[in-house]
Amino acid sequence: MEVKNLTCINCPMGCPLTVEIEAGQVVRVSGNTCKRGDVYARKEVTNPTRIVTSTVRVMHGKLDVVSVKTKEDIPKEKIFACVRALKSVQVEAPIHMGDVIVKNIADTGVDVTATKNVERQ
Amino acid sequence: MNKYDIVIIGGGPAGLAAAISAKKNGIDRVLILERDKELGGILNQCIHNGFGLHTFQEELTGPEYAERFISQVKELDIDYKLNTMVMEIDREKKVTAMNREDGLFDVQAKAVILAMGCRERARGALNIPGFRPAGIYSAGTAQRLVNMEGYMPGREVVILGSGDIGLIMARRMTLEGAKVKVAAELMPYSGGLKRNIVQCLDDYGIPLKLSHTVIDIKGKERVEGVTLAEVDGKGKPIPGTEEFYSCDTLLLSVGLIPENEISGNMGVEMNPVTSGPKVNESFETNIKGVFACGNVLHVHDLVDFVSQEAAAAGKNAAAYVKKEHTEDGAGREISLIPAEGVRYTVPSTVNAARMDEKLTVRFRVGNVYKNCYVSVYFGEERVIHRKRQVMAPGEMEEVNLSRAQILQYPNLENITVKVEEDETNGSKESDLH
C-alpha cells in the first residue's frame, strides 16, 4: 500500500491529509475535517492538474511580452514541457485576449491563449 | 479649471470599480487619474490565475480580471488620463496633477476617491547587514521585470518573506528556469495564502523555513549568497543555526504599505495599524466627500474584496455628490473597536442612519488561532459569536453587521470585535450567519 501526504488548499486550515492508495485506487483519506478535503485528496493523487500561466515574446507590439495561459488545466507532470514549448514562441502584434497562441501544447490537447491585448507599435 | 463631479486617484482594480459604480449611480462627470501607461494597476503584472473566484465564479488571470473592468470603463465613456501623477489634493478637493501633455494642471472635484494602492516594503526597512550589491529586488519588481518587460532578474534565488507575491514569484522564476533554493519567513507562520504555499512552493519542492531570516548578504558588486539563521521567539537570530546559501538574487516579499502621502498631506486621518485612512461605513474619511478603497485603505489578499469595497465607495461618493447623503447629526457615530486578537477593523465607525441593511466589517487577526470564536459585542452584550476553525494573519476575516440589529440599541456607542479562545461568556448569543 502506498501512502501520500498532502496539504489541503481549500481553506486556511490547511489540513494535513493522508491518502492511502492500493493498486492505483484510493482506499482511504484521513486528516481532513470536511468533505472538500476528501475530494481534493482523491483528485490530487489520481489526476493532479494545474492551469499554467507564462509569457511569450511579442514582435512589433507596445509591450515586449504578452501573458498567456493554458485554456484549461493540464496534467501536473506536463507543466515543464508546456513552459519549455512556450520558450521559443514569438507572436506578431496585435494580439487580442483569447487569441490562440499555441495549439495543443505539449500534446495535452489544450490550447494556450493570450490573456492580454497588445496593440501594434 | 477643469471640473469633475468625482475624481478617482488611481486606475487599478479599486479605481476602476469605484469609477464604474459612481457612473452607474448617476454621476456623469467621473475622471480617473493613473500614473502608469495603462489602466489595470498591479493586475497587469499578476499573470497567474486565481482572480475573480468570488466575483465571476471562474478563475481569471490578473490581466483578464482587469480587462472586465477596463472594458466597462470604456463602454460607460468614463474619462481617464494615463501617465498622470497626482501631486496634491487640497481640502477643497482641488486636485493638482501633471503629465507630459498637460503639464501641471488642476482639476476641481466635488468628491475624491483615493485608490492609490500600496507599495512594497524595501530592504532599507529591514536592517539586513552587508553591502548593497545588485541582485536584491522586491518580489513585485521582479514580477514586473519577468512578466511585463521580459527580463530574468537572476538564476539562483533566495526569497525572504512568505508574502503572496514572493510565493507566486518562486513558482514563476522556477518555470522560467531559475533555481529557487529556499523561502525564509521571520514569523512562525506564513504571510501568504495556503493555496500559494502548496501550488508555488510544495509543487516545486521549494522549502519554506519558518522562524528564519537573512542575517547577512555576501557580495559587493552582485549578490553571491545569503546567510540564513533561525530566530527565537523575539525574532533574534539563534547562534549556531546559520546556513549559507549561494545565490545571485534575493527577492524580498516582506509586506505592503498603503501609499498615503497625498492623503496624509491633505489632512486625512490615518489608522496607524493599517497605514490607511480611517473610514466610516460609507468608506468616507474624516474629510467630507473624500473616500478611500482598495489597498490604499488596507492591504487585501483577494482582489474580489477590493472590487466590492470600491463599488461601495463609488456608490457613496455618488450619493454625496447628489446630496443624497444623510445630513450630519442624523443617527449616531458608533465606534468599531478591535480587541483581543483583532488588529484593526475597516470601517472604524458606523452610523446606522447611513448604512445599508448589511455592512461587511473586514479585519485581520494578529496571530494564528485555532478553534476560536469571532465575537461582536454591542456595548457589553455579545451579539455575534461565530466559531472559526482557524484564523491566520495572512487571511483577511469578515463579519456582517445588520442595520436592523444596530437600531435595536438606540444608545449604542461602541461595537467591539474580538477573538475569543473558549466559551466563557454565558450571555445569550445570536448568529447573523
Asked whether residue A121 is assigned to any structural domain, the reply reads no
Decide: A55 and A78 in contact? Cβ < 8 Å.
Answer: no
Q: What is the DSSP string of B228-252?
A: EEEB-TTSPBPTT--EEEE-SEEEE
Pair A27, A64 in one domain = no
Chain B residues with CB-CB distance to A52 below 8 A: 175
* CATH code of the domain covering residue B404: 2.60.40
* CATH code of the domain covering residue B81: 3.50.50.60
With CB atoms and an 8 Å threshold, state whether A7 touches B395: no
What is the dihedral angle through the alpha carbons of B286, B290, B291, B295, rounded to the nearest 10 degrees? -90
Chain A residues with CB-CB distance to B193 below 8 A: 12
CA B301 to chain centre: 7
**Phi-psi category of residue A24: left, alpha or beta, with phi > 0 → left and psi -120 to 50 → alpha:** left
Decide: B7 and B109 in contact? Cβ < 8 Å.
Answer: yes
Chain A nearest-CA residue for B50 = A51
Contacts by A87-90, CB closer than 8 A, 24 or more apart = A89/A56, A89/A57, A90/A56, A90/A57, A90/A58, A90/A59
Angle at B345 between CA B342 and CA B349, to 5 degrees: 135
With CB atoms and an 8 Å threshold, state whether B197 touches A7: yes
What is the dihedral angle through the alpha carbons of B326, B327, B330, B332, rounded to the nearest 10 degrees? 80
Determine the 3-state secondary structure of A23 from DSSP: coil
Q: Order across the sheet with B212-218: list the strands.
A: B212-218, B225-230, B243-246
Q: How is residue B162 written as a grid cell?
A: 512568505
Could you say which of A7, A13, A55 has the minimum Cβ distance to residue B389? Answer: A13
Alpha-carbon distance of A42 to A111, in angstroms, equals 26
Asked whether residue A26 is assigned to any structural domain, the reply reads yes
Pair B360, B246 in one domain = no
With CB atoms and an 8 Å threshold, state whether A67 touches B47: yes
Chain B residues with CB-CB distance to A55 below 8 A: 47, 146-147, 150
With CB atoms and an 8 Å threshold, state whether B61 touches A7: no
Pair A104, A59 in one domain = yes
Task: For an interface test with B, give the residue of A4, A6, A7, A9 to mutate (most B CBs within 10 A).
Answer: A9
Element (H, E) at A55: strand A53-59
Asked whether residue A97 is assigned to any structural domain, the reply reads yes
Question: So what's the pLDDT on residue B163?
Answer: 87
With CB atoms and an 8 Å threshold, state whether A53 touches B193: no
Angle at B52 between CA B348 and CA B25, to 5 degrees: 60
Chain A nearest-CA residue for B61 = A115
With CB atoms and an 8 Å threshold, state whether B391 touches A12: yes
Pair B266, B199 in one domain = no
Residue recorded with cell 512589433: A60
Chain A nearest-CA residue for B146 = A55
Pair A28, A59 in one domain = no
Decide: B138 and B31 in contact? Cβ < 8 Å.
Answer: no
Pair A79, A103 in one domain = yes
Pair B82, B172 in one domain = no
With CB atoms and an 8 Å threshold, state whether A53 touches B47: yes
Task: Report pLDDT digits (tens) over A41-86.
Answer: 998 898 899 999 999 999 999 989 999 999 999 999 999 999 999 9
B217: amino acid identity, one letter: I
Alpha-carbon distance of B143 to B172, in angstroms, equals 8
Could you say which of B47, B198, B394 has the minimum Cβ distance to residue A115? Answer: B47
pLDDT tens string, chain B, 433 residues long: the values are: 899 999 999 999 999 999 999 999 999 999 999 999 999 999 999 999 988 888 888 889 999 999 999 999 999 999 999 999 999 999 999 999 999 999 999 999 999 999 999 999 988 888 888 889 999 999 999 999 999 999 999 999 999 999 899 999 999 999 999 999 999 999 998 888 888 899 999 999 999 999 999 999 999 999 999 999 999 989 899 999 999 999 999 999 999 999 999 999 999 999 999 999 999 999 999 999 999 999 999 999 889 999 999 999 999 999 999 987 666 667 789 999 999 999 999 999 999 888 999 999 999 999 889 889 999 999 999 999 999 888 888 889 999 999 999 999 988 999 999 999 876 544 333 344 4
Name A39's Cβ contacts closer than 8 Å, sequence gap at least 6: none
Q: How many Å lie between the alpha carbon of A102 and the closest alpha carbon of chain B?
A: 17
Pair B265, B364 in one domain = no
Could you say which of B59, B175, B392 has the minimum Cβ distance to residue A54? Answer: B175
Chain A nearest-CA residue for B173 = A54
Decide: B142 and B134 in contact? Cβ < 8 Å.
Answer: no
Task: For an interface test with A, give the residue of B69, B144, B151, B389 to mutate (most A CBs within 10 A).
Answer: B389
B172: amino acid identity, one letter: R
Name A87's Cβ contacts closer than 8 Å, sequence gap at least 6: none
The beta strand positions in B247-392, using DSSP E, are 249-252, 256-258, 270-271, 276-277, 290-292, 334-339, 342-346, 349-350, 358-365, 369-378, 381-391
Q: What is the DSSP string of B77-106?
A: T-EEESS-EEEEE-TT-EEEEEETTTEEEE
Instruction: Tell which of B211, B231, B254 closes a domain.
Output: B254
Instruction: Tell which of B226, B254, B282 closes a domain.
Output: B254
Asked whether residue A120 is assigned to any structural domain, the reply reads no
Pair A101, A62 in one domain = yes
Counted across chains A and B, CB pairs separated by less than 8 A come out at 77
Pair B249, B262 in one domain = no
**Phi-psi category of residue B10: left, alpha or beta, with phi > 0 → left and psi -120 to 50 → alpha:** left
Pair B134, B242 in one domain = yes
Pair A29, A15 in one domain = yes
| CA-wise closest residue to B297 among B250, B249, B256, B326 | B256
Task: For an interface test with A, give the residue of B59, B198, B201 to mutate (most A CBs within 10 A).
Answer: B198
Asked whether residue A18 is assigned to any structural domain, the reply reads yes
Chain A nearest-CA residue for B169 = A54
Pair A41, A59 in one domain = no
Element (H, E) at A71: none
Determine the 3-state secondary structure of B405 from DSSP: helix
Pair B115, B261 in one domain = yes
Chain A residues with CB-CB distance to B199 below 8 A: 9, 50
Pair B336, B413 in one domain = yes
With CB atoms and an 8 Å threshold, state whether A12 touches B146: no
Alpha-carbon distance of B281 to B269, in angstroms, equals 15
Residue recorded with cell 521571520: B186
Pair B134, B113 in one domain = no
Q: How many Å lie between the alpha carbon of B175 and the closest alpha carbon of chain A?
A: 7
In chain A, the number of structural domains is 2
Pair A60, A39 in one domain = no
The range of the structural domain enclosing residue A22 comes to: 2-47
In chain B, the number of structural domains is 3
Asked whether residue A40 is assigned to any structural domain, the reply reads yes
Chain B residues with CB-CB distance to A116 below 8 A: 44, 47, 63-64, 67
Say which DSSP state B145 is in. Answer: I
Question: So what's the pLDDT on residue B327?
Answer: 64
The range of the structural domain enclosing residue B193 comes to: 122-254
Pair B127, B248 in one domain = yes
Chain A residues touching chain B at CB-CB below 8 Å: 6-9, 11-14, 33, 50-55, 57, 63-65, 67, 69, 76, 79-80, 83, 97, 115-117
Alpha-carbon distance of B50 to A47, in angstroms, equals 20
| ipTM score | 0.88
Pair B101, B6 in one domain = yes
The beta strand positions in B154-224, using DSSP E, are 156-160, 179-185, 208-210, 212-218
Alpha-carbon distance of B176 to B147, in angstroms, equals 10
Could you say which of A14, A63, A76 has the minimum Cβ distance to residue B194? Answer: A14
Pair B266, B291 in one domain = yes
Instruction: Tell which of B254, B272, B300 closes a domain.
Output: B254
